[in-house]
Structure 1
Amino acid sequence: MTGTIHNRDQFLDVIAGRLGRDRNTAGVERPKWKYTPQNEVLKDATQEELVEVLKEQCTKIHTTFLKTNLNQLSTTIDTVVGQLGGGPIVTWKDNRFKPFGLTTLFDKWKVENVDVHVWDNQTGKDNIHFADKANVGITISDITLAESGTAVLFSNKDRGRTVSFLPSTSIILIPKSSIVPRMTQAARIIRENTNKGEHLASCINFITGPSNSADIEMNLVVGVHGPVKATYIVIEDI
C-alpha cells in the first residue's frame, strides 16, 4: 500500500521555473556517487559486534543496557519494572508479545493488581490519558541503530506513539535481529519496504535514550520532556 502525493507536478514545475528551466520528466536516474562513506561505518561488523557497539553507546546516552534470551525475557522485564517502581504500565497491542511470552506476564501483573493498559484504538484519547499517568511504557524497536543507540519505532493504530514518551520511564525491547550499524541502513530498509508496497507508518520515532537537553547554559539535563529513565533489553532472537 502506498500513499497519495497531491499537487506534486505543480510543485515541481514551480521549483523548475524558479531555477529558470523546464522540469525534467524523463531519463532521470538516481546518481551513483563515487564515494559512499556512509556505507563504510561498521559494514563488516557481526551481529554480536553490533550488540557491543550498542552497549557501549548506551553508557553515553544515559540508558540502562540489558541482554537476555526469550526464556528469561519475562523475568527480566518483571525485575526491571520492579526496579523502576512498578505500575501503572502502558504498552502496545503487538502480535510480537505472544511469541515473546509477554502476554502471560501481563496476566500475571493483573492478578497482582498491577495496573496494566494495552493500547486499544477503539478507546481513542483514553489511551493517551493513561499513558500520561503511567510509570512505565513498554515498546519494541523495529530497527535499532548501534552507532547512536537509537531505537526506531513504527507507530500504527495499535502502537500509539505516546507509549514511548509520556510515561515516567521507558523500556524498549531490542530484538538482536533488529540491530543495524547506523541511520544509513535504517533509511534503506524503510525505502525497500515502501518499494515492496508495505504500508509506511504515519509516524516513525527515532529514540535515543531518555529525553535530554543542553539548551540552558550548555548544561546537560536528562529527563526534560519525556521519560527520565530508559532501559534497552536486547533479546537473543537469532
Structure 2
Amino acid sequence: MRGKEAFMRNISSRLGRREPLAEAPSRPFIGVPDFYRERTRTQDELIDEFIQSWTALSGKTLVVDEAEAPQAVEAYIRQLAGELGIKRISRWEHEGLEKLGFDQSLNEAGIEVVAWREGGADHIELGGLPTGPDGNWARRSHLLHAAEQCRLGVVWPDCAIANTSTLALFSQGGKGRSVSLLTEAIVAVFRADQIVYRMGEAFALFKKQFPNVTDMPSSLNLITGPSRSADIENDLTIGIHGPGKVHAIILK
C-alpha cells in the first residue's frame, strides 16, 4: 500500500482508529461558537483584561483621563526617552497624535521628532550611512533614513484586543510600518473605546474599513508584547525582529 491511502491509514492508526473515516466529521460551529460570541465585557473589564495580559508580557501601561492626555503623554514620552537615553523618536501622522501636540515641546527638550509624512524629517541631520554614499541604503528616502535612526516609535493603533493584549495596526499613508518595527521601543496611545474583546472583532473592523481588496493597506500588523525570537535550541531573545520594550497609554 502506497501513496495517499497509506498516508491516511497511518494517521488513522495514530488516532486509534481501525480505518480512515469514510465521511467528513460534523462541524457544528463555523467561526466563533455562540457561547463565545455572546461573552461580553464592560469597558472597565476590557481595560483590566488588556492591562493584565499586557503586563504579563512585560509591557508597561498608563491609564489617563482624556482631558489630561496632552500633558500626560508628553511627560511619559519625555521620561521614557530620558531613562533610555533617547534623543530622536518617530511617530505616526495620525489625527489623535496630532491633537496631543507634543512635537514642539519635545523638540525644545532636545528630543527630535520625526513625523511619518513627506517632509516630516527635513529638519533631521542624519548620521553616517552604513553602506556608504553609493549603497542601496543611501538611495532610500530621507524620511526612511531618519526613521531607521530613531529608537522610540509612537503609534495610535486602530484597535487593541483585550484577551491577548494585542495592538492591531493598519499600515497606510502616515501610519508606516517602520515606526513600530525598526525602533527598540514603542509607545501605543489609544482610547479605551478602541479596545475589543477578541481577535475576530479586530478582523471584522479591518474588513469593515476596507471592504475592497484594492483599498486595503499594505499590511495589518498585530503586536502582542515585545518581539520574541527563539532558535532551534529554544534560546529566547527579546527585541530582534521588533521592539523589545512596549508601552501602552490608554485614554479613558
**TM-score if structure 2 supplies the norm length?**
0.71
The change in CA–CA distance for 1:41 and 1:221 in structure 2 (over 3 A counts) is farther
**Aligned residue in 1 for 2:170:** 154
CA distance in 1, matches of 2:201, 2:75: 32
* C-alpha deviation, 1:35, in angstroms: 7.7
| SS of structure 1 residue aligned to 2:163 | coil
CA distance in 2, matches of 1:233, 1:181: 18
| SS of structure 2 residue aligned to 1:50 | helix
The change in CA–CA distance for 1:230 and 1:42 in structure 2 (over 3 A counts) is farther
User: Which amino acid is the alignment partner of residue 81 of structure 2?
Assistant: V
| SS of structure 2 residue aligned to 1:67 | strand
**Aligned residue in 1 for 2:9:** none
**Aligned residue in 2 for 1:64:** 60
CA contact (8 A) 2:238 2:244 kept: yes
* C-alpha deviation, 1:36, in angstroms: 3.3
Which 5+ residue runs of structure 1 have no aligned equivalent? 1-31
The alignment of Structure 1 onto Structure 2 pairs a total of residues equal to 203
Range 73-82 or range 32-41, more displaced: 32-41
* C-alpha deviation, 1:144, in angstroms: 0.6
Q: Deviations over 1:118-172 (max 9, x none)?
A: 1123577222221221111111111111111110111122121110010121111
The change in CA–CA distance for 1:128 and 1:138 in structure 2 (over 3 A counts) is same
CA contact (8 A) 1:150 1:208 kept: yes
Range 162-171 or range 219-228, more displaced: 219-228
Q: Deviations over 1:99-135 (max 9, x none)?
A: 3x2x2x2101112232211112357722222122111
* C-alpha deviation, 1:226, in angstroms: 1.8
CA distance in 2, matches of 1:80, 1:209: 17
The change in CA–CA distance for 1:35 and 1:157 in structure 2 (over 3 A counts) is closer
**Aligned residue in 2 for 1:17:** none
CA distance in 2, matches of 1:55, 1:198: 35
The change in CA–CA distance for 1:194 and 1:115 in structure 2 (over 3 A counts) is closer
CA RMSD of aligned residues (A): 2.7
The change in CA–CA distance for 1:35 and 1:200 in structure 2 (over 3 A counts) is closer
Q: Deviations over 1:64-112 (max 9, x none)?
A: 122122313332333233333232111112222233x2x2x21011122
The equivalences for 1:8-87 within 5 A come to 33=29, 36-37=32-33, 40=36, 43-70=39-66, 71=68, 72-87=72-87
CA contact (8 A) 1:91 1:163 kept: yes
| SS of structure 2 residue aligned to 1:117 | strand
**Aligned residue in 2 for 1:136:** 152
User: Which amino acid is the alignment partner of residue 91 of structure 1?
Assistant: R
**Aligned residue in 2 for 1:192:** 208
User: Which amino acid is the alignment partner of residue 132 of structure 1?
Assistant: E
The change in CA–CA distance for 1:76 and 1:39 in structure 2 (over 3 A counts) is farther
- Given the alignment of the two structures, is residue 203 of structure 1 paired with residue 200 of structure 2, yes or no? no
User: Which amino acid is the alignment partner of residue 114 of structure 1?
Assistant: I
**Aligned residue in 1 for 2:128:** none
